[in-house]
Structure 1
Amino acid sequence: MNQNPYQAPTAALGDPQLPEPPKPAQVQLAVRTMWVVFVVGLISLHPWIRGDWWAIKAPDVPEAGPVFTVIMVAILLFSSVTSAVLIWLVSRRHGWARWGVLVWVLVGCWGLVADLPSVWAETPLALIVDSATVLLDAACCYLLFIGDGAKWFRPTPSA
């Protein structure tokens, strides 16, 4: 032991770390369901289900085809990465991420309603898959914002 009264203590100072509360069952269910919905959404991009979603349908502007394809793939990558990151952050107890998921689901609802007539006419199976996934995502948001799910996202008081 050093007897120098002017030297800073070497022991760690501060409150002891409190253990993280266990993840409630409804949060586990919501996160697992969101991962399943994410994978189903990616599978539903298959042309047999969704058609040629990456191709432009304007024969009067043939040069726009490759540009439109690049834009659609970029949108797909952005939305896939954003969804995956938000789900992961929700599972790591980031309260703001559940708000992000809620906004993401509301945007999905808006997109579903905005394209309803054209999607139903062209690819009804895609509309059925999209409707089911949006409903499941909405149910997951409900689980994250009520009861034990909501309490788990609140910060724990320090000792």
Structure 2
Amino acid sequence: MLTIAAFAIQFLWIWLIARKRQNWARWVTLIVTIVAVIGLALRIGTLLQANPASTIVRLIVTALWVVELYLLFTGDAPPWFATKGQAMVVEGAPASSNEV
């Protein structure tokens, strides 16, 4: 049951960021990731001694979170979040999906 709840929360969070363009969700993701990275850094020695394989997986997941943040705050992301409720014009792309 806990796994289903965690999946539902993750799905909702991705939907808020990717489909609803909720800028606050992007900033909350930044804060949560910073706290997670600090927490992992403070416990890395203990975690490696207790379960090295699990710790390596945690490090990989944390690295993916950092990549996610990079993508959320660079490139086309800031203007995309700024144009909430409007169509974003991308250079070289057709004006609408109905064009042939």
TM-score by length of 2: 0.69
Change (3 A) 1:123 1:154: same
Give distance in 1, aligned partners of 2:40 and 2:4: 19
1:9-88 counterparts in 2 under 5 A? 80=6, 84=10, 85-88=12-15
Which consecutive unaligned segments of at least 5 residues does structure 1 have? 1-72
Q: Which residue of 1 aligns with 2:60?
A: 132
Give distance in 2, aligned partners of 1:90 and 1:106: 18
Give distance in 2, aligned partners of 1:101 and 1:138: 10
Q: Larger % of helix: which?
A: 2
1:100 CA drift (Å):
0.9
Percent of matched pairs sharing the same residue: 30
Change (3 A) 1:132 1:88: same
Which consecutive unaligned segments of at least 5 residues does structure 2 have? 87-100
Structure whose alpha-carbon radius of gyration is higher? 1
Give distance in 2, aligned partners of 1:121 and 1:97: 35
RMSD over aligned Cα atoms:
2.7
Q: Which residue of 1 aligns with 2:97?
A: none
RCO comparison, higher one (Cα < 8 Å, 6+): 1
For residues 41-82 of structure 1, give each alpha carbon's deviation from its aligned partner in whole angstroms, at most 9, with x where no partner exists. xxxxxxxxxxxxxxxxxxxxxxxxxxxxxxxx8xx998x379
3-state DSSP of counterpart to 2:28: helix
Check if 1:106 corresponds to 2:3: no
1:124 CA drift (Å):
0.6
The partner residue of 2:25 within 91, 97, 109 is 97
Give distance in 2, aligned partners of 1:118 and 1:138: 22
TM-score by length of 1: 0.45
